[in-house]
Structure 1
Amino acid sequence: MKATGALGFAGFTGVTAGRGGEIGTSSSETLRLFGEVAVSGATEVVTQNTWAYVATGDGFAVVDWRNSNRPQLVGTWDAPGTGIADVKVDGDLLAVSTQGGEHDHGPGEEPNADPDAQIGTHLYDVSDPTDPRYLSTFQVLPEGVHNAHLVDDVLYIAKEAPFDESALIIVDVSDPANPTESSRWILEEVHPELDSVTNFVHDVYAQGDYAYLAYWDAGCRVLDVSDPTDPVEVSWFGQTENADMGMDGDPWSRVYGSPGNAHYVQPSPDGDHVYVGAETYAGESGGITVFDVSDFNDPQQVATIEAEDRNPGIFPDTSHNFDVTPNRLYTSWYNAGARVYDTTDPSNPQKTYEYDPDGSSFWTAVRARGFTVVSDIGGGLAFLHEDRGENRAPSFDGADSVPYHDRRHDD
């Protein structure tokens, strides 16, 4: 029961013999390509049973992978708005988030200011995954939603931008045709000293009674959301020393460079540890930090998984989205591959497998049905296995570089 007070590896960097060619390594620690499917515009992927849902920029795609050796693209669906890089599924409900509108805005006009614009998180009935049915949109104007989390009829929205209006919005979706806001939590209202463009909620993960917020330079904030109408902060950790600097110095260099940049967060299934990934665009690439939170009153950093500098001077070696199971961590590192770590001892993660073909950039790595499922940005999905499959890159073309998808401020 948690206290709730105040506050040397031989994997490959291999060279392909062209897309689909064999990767130049015989390492037994290499994840093998068991199945693949092209999905144009692929970014985030989530899985449920034998279905995979993929964000595609203009909407989402559905993949049937009952046969994991020959996954099939069921179809793609356009969604209102653009900039769709986030999907979540829970039971028969799919949540698709958009950061952009259907129409450009003119000089001097607020972006997406039209109250009729469908900007925010769109909800679909996927009781039949082959025929998703649009239900509603929870509007988040003017900038939309980059990331959200969906569980047990509750939608947690990370309203990232504008940075000075960032908030966690908790939405009741028990009637998904009529989503209603339950509450919103704003860091600066609780901690006025942290009022800064460097402190914004980028992502959220909910488990049990708690929501874990990746709050960039303000680190990870943990909220008790047992009452969704009244979220209460119970712990925080990983905040940078300069998170309270406000606009002093060069705040934008602090936004894009290390330290800080808490980008993605997920607790272990037992809740005793929290993994926080950093995403950096300048200086050293961001890694993943492990915190022991068995006592929320006294969280302790116990390990750091450093980024591996495989593309010197290029930011896409940084960590991105990952998945945590009882004793494994499945990670994506943009242009630096997808990797699996043994976290039986969370204070000493050990890299066990990786997959790093030339020409690929990975947005997401998740564990499902004995496979590591990764989204190769722009290209599609790869279904990887520890000892079954082929030692090669996917046949489809992925992105050779990663767009600055988070860079949304006026220069």
Structure 2
Amino acid sequence: MDDNRQFTRRTALKTTGLLAAVGLSGVAAGSPAGNGRGKSGDTLRRFSEVAVSGAQEVVTQKTWAYVATGDGFAVVDWRNPNRPERVGTFHAPGTGIADVKVDGDLLAVSSQGGSEHDHGPGEDPDPDPDADIGTHLYDVSDPADPEYLSTFQVLPAGVHNAHLVDDTLYVAKEAPFDESALIIVDVSDPTDPTELSRWVLEDVHPELDSVTNFIHDVYVQDDYAYLAYWDAGTRVLDVSDPAEPVEVTSFGETEDADKGDEGNPWDRVYSSPGNAHYVQPSPDGDHVYVGAETYAGESGGIRVFDVTDFDNPQQVAEIEAEDRNNGIFADTSHNFDVTSNRLYTAWYNAGTRVYDITDPANPEQTYEYDPDGSSFWTAVRARGFVVVSDIGGGLVFLHEDRGKPGAPAFDGADSVPNHKQGQ
């Protein structure tokens, strides 16, 4: 790239090459109060709840919520938020289903393992379990009656996370870690998904060839794909031409990301200071929020990067994890949601918290929900509520003013699930 050319976030020019992470001087820290609550001591109130066995990731669209359940997905109708109703639980191909995404009438459900499964009425179970590994597409024009359409097969380890935008599916092929890649798929005909391209970090940056540098998650907005690439930090690709993705910037690499497989790289995977586990930009794209999932040493927090200039991304804040369980690893951050002025976060056993990010450089905690016996996978904002998935148990619909305190009536998890590498 021409070093004299300025490259802002809104510039559509494409470039290749490594843009090194910048120094972190002047970084502001988030300001959780000493009691673990907002500065006013406010807690989110439990407005309603619905049991969903095996609950993990949740996404919402209009008055519907879709929940990954490990062996499939559930659909929740919450047109009446006072009485959310689980209208169906559906077995999907494969196992290890932790991720769902929805866009319009299309639902994407990702599986990490194969199993025999009857794909349709009157059909024989698939004799080849490998056929069940990958991302499965469903027609949800009638959300209460999803129709299986096809599977985009990803072998040998399946898909932990994906993102769906318009007619394009972005698949994070996490493992095997020496074959990790972003796969971009045309799903304009969801009965026949077609690979358009794949982007592999080591092809562009051979110096980062390591089993600790793998893609874990992806978020796509305004023709940019934000890749959570673990020790290799966040990589941002221009995907305006999905058949030819091009890296435009990167930031947040860990200190040892370029050490390859020197020594024992697995010692670095879950260690402080962190990794890029989940990523989401602000709606205007000026800031990117990156969550770490670390257990060895300090639990992972959420870093805030100013990316108004792609040539010079700057970390401007960090929301640190709070030790609420006497050093137990489950205080680390997990998935979150970003709006124009709020950040909605899930911290496994350390609760759900809301931050005012009107000034992204100075996030301030305003609300929290942290009942005993719960562990949270996701927090999302929808229809004036905070929708959280209590792992294994179901959904809780939280409100800032209305509802009651306390834990949900269903049994959730009091610890995070058994973790595979990079989950």
- Normalised by the size of structure 1, how large is the TM-score? 0.92
SS at match of 1:262: coil
Counterpart in the other structure of 1:110: none
For the 8 Å contact 1:12–1:355, the answer to whether it is kept is no
SS at match of 2:317: strand
Cα pair distance change 1:285/1:9, threshold 3 Å: closer
Among 187, 202, 209, the residue aligned to 1:173: 187
Counterpart in the other structure of 2:61: 48
For the 8 Å contact 1:224–1:231, the answer to whether it is kept is yes
Residues 1:57 and 2:70 aligned together: yes
How far did 1:367 drift?
0.1
Task: Please list every run of 5 or more consecutive structure 2 residues that lacks an aligned counterpart in the other structure.
Answer: 1-8, 20-30, 117-126
Residues 1:97 and 2:105 aligned together: no
For the 8 Å contact 1:12–1:30, the answer to whether it is kept is no
Among 95, 117, 121, the residue aligned to 1:82: 95
1:381 is aligned with what amino acid? L
Query: What CA distance in whole angstroms lies between the structure 1 residues aligned with 2:322 and 2:158?
Result: 33
Q: How many residues align?
A: 390
Query: What CA distance in whole angstroms lies between the structure 2 residues aligned with 1:407 and 1:311?
Result: 22
How far did 1:88 drift?
0.1
Counterpart in the other structure of 1:2: 10
2:10 is aligned with what amino acid? K
Counterpart in the other structure of 1:67: 80
Query: What CA distance in whole angstroms lies between the structure 1 residues aligned with 2:297 and 2:95?
Result: 30
Query: What CA distance in whole angstroms lies between the structure 1 residues aligned with 2:74 and 2:34?
Result: 32
1:242-274 deviations in Å (ceiling 9; x for gaps): 101111122111012122321000000000000
Task: Please list every run of 5 or more consecutive structure 1 residues that lacks an aligned counterpart in the other structure.
Answer: 15-24, 104-112
Query: What CA distance in whole angstroms lies between the structure 2 residues aligned with 1:354 and 1:79?
Result: 34
Q: Name which of structure 1's ranges 70-79 and 241-250 shifts more when overlaid on structure 2.
A: 241-250
Residues 1:339 and 2:350 aligned together: no
How far did 1:404 drift?
3.1
Query: What CA distance in whole angstroms lies between the structure 2 residues aligned with 1:187 and 1:82?
Result: 27
1:331-353 deviations in Å (ceiling 9; x for gaps): 00000000000000000000000
1:268-300 deviations in Å (ceiling 9; x for gaps): 000000000000121110000000000111100
Cα pair distance change 1:408/1:335, threshold 3 Å: closer
Query: What CA distance in whole angstroms lies between the structure 1 residues aligned with 2:385 and 2:422?
Result: 35
Among 281, 284, 288, the residue aligned to 1:270: 284
SS at match of 1:296: coil
Query: What CA distance in whole angstroms lies between the structure 1 residues aligned with 2:233 and 2:380?
Result: 23
RMSD: 2.0
1:76 is aligned with what amino acid? T
How far did 1:71 drift?
0.4
Among 366, 371, 376, the residue aligned to 2:390: 376
Cα pair distance change 1:296/1:408, threshold 3 Å: closer
1:68-127 deviations in Å (ceiling 9; x for gaps): 111001010000100000000000000000001116xxxxxxxxx958521100000000
Runs of 4+ in 1 over 3 A off after TM superposition: 3-6, 8-14, 113-116
Cα pair distance change 1:39/1:301, threshold 3 Å: same
Cα pair distance change 1:387/1:303, threshold 3 Å: same
Among all aligned residue pairs of Structure 1 and Structure 2, give the percentage whose two residues are the same amino acid: 80
Query: What CA distance in whole angstroms lies between the structure 2 residues aligned with 1:263 and 1:166?
Result: 14
Counterpart in the other structure of 2:25: none
For the 8 Å contact 2:114–2:130, the answer to whether it is kept is no
For the 8 Å contact 2:113–2:132, the answer to whether it is kept is no
How far did 1:11 drift?
8.6
Counterpart in the other structure of 1:356: 370
Query: What CA distance in whole angstroms lies between the structure 1 residues aligned with 2:418 and 2:230?
Result: 16
1:334-391 deviations in Å (ceiling 9; x for gaps): 0000000000000000000000000000000000000000000000000000010001
1:99 is aligned with what amino acid? Q
Counterpart in the other structure of 1:388: 402
For the 8 Å contact 1:12–1:354, the answer to whether it is kept is no
Counterpart in the other structure of 1:158: 172
